[in-house]
Structure 1
């Protein structure tokens, strides 16, 4: 029996046992997290896009109510307004982040989570209030305190140790 299949069986049995223990009101057993990579996660707060969506929705409502155009569209008008407000709430709740692991960095983009390994990082630029991760191929990743409310000072310290461990040039301005 291979090692991987043994680990899968152990994990499966442990999850079943934890479900039983939860039903009985007992604390779950510790899950073996040695296979999961350790990461330092720095979360920001998206402000620009939700503010834009709320302002756009407010101006849309003001313009349409003054012209009376909303009366002819019926309930679809209010569904559209509600969807824009819901989308703004989604952007507020879905916080951007930077996770720094042993040999990779990970962040959330519009298309989903993206991982960038140390071999594909050209340089890391650290400025007051912003951090830029330059890729060998592709666009740069920019993290700023002004736009997304990242804790750039803490991120810069962690990225310095990441860069020194993985032989990546770091530029400070």
Structure 2
């Protein structure tokens, strides 16, 4: 009974540590006996285009709807929709995009949530002025842009140079 209890505890601890690793946090207790206290460098951007698009879309929607002949009564659902679009724009402003570079992974916030790319899944890294492109073995490329999300691409490029050199990942500079 004691051994099965230990296995359950170890299994649950492993599951929680995997979740914490995806979130970029330290593990609660190491199951393998070694600590993974490698530093993670995080670079934050600022989302501007999507909130601006949502605000402009909402303004256009209000102007076209209120100015039409069919809009005579103040419909509550209309104003709730307007408020929700503006709230969504605020969420995009407050949830800043980021890129975190660890010892053997790169993590970023995607539309589906936080995603990690480990060194085995990275085909190549391309550095351009204002852009960083990380090509995956499977799936689409990750693009970090100074124009779209206001990333500090120069600082990120320096960190990715050392990451690529330590992990033997092809790095291209254009």
| TM-score past 0.5 threshold | yes
Residue of structure 1 in register with 2:111 after alignment: 110
Q: What is the CA–CA distance in structure 2 between the aligned matches of 1:65 and 1:82, rounded to whole Å?
A: 15
User: What is aligned with 2:96?
Assistant: 95
Matches within 5 A, 1:3-82: 34-35=35-36, 37-72=38-73, 74-82=75-83
Q: Secondary structure at the match of 1:67?
A: coil
Rounded Cα–Cα distance in structure 2 between residues aligned with 1:99 and 1:134: 16
Q: Aligned residue for 1:124?
A: 125
In the TM superposition, residue 32 of structure 1 has moved relative to its aligned partner by: 8.5
Provide Cα deviations, 1:98-139, integer angstroms capped at 9, x if missing partner. 000000000000000000001111110000000000011111
Q: What 5-or-longer segments of structure 2 have no aligned partner?
A: 14-27
Structure 1, unmatched stretches of 5+, are: 9-30
SS at match of 1:46: coil
RMSD of the TM alignment (CA)?
Answer: 2.2
* Distance across 1 between alignment mates of 2:172 and 2:29: 38
Structure 1 outlier segments of 4+, above 4 Å: 31-37
How many pairs align? 149
Q: By how many angstroms is 1:67 displaced?
A: 1.1
TM-score normalized by structure 2? 0.78
Residue of structure 1 equivalent to 2:22: none
Shift of 1:69: 4.0
Structure 1-normalised TM-score?
Answer: 0.79
- Corresponding residue of 2:146: 145
What is the Cα deviation at residue 74 of structure 1? 1.4
Shift of 1:71: 3.8
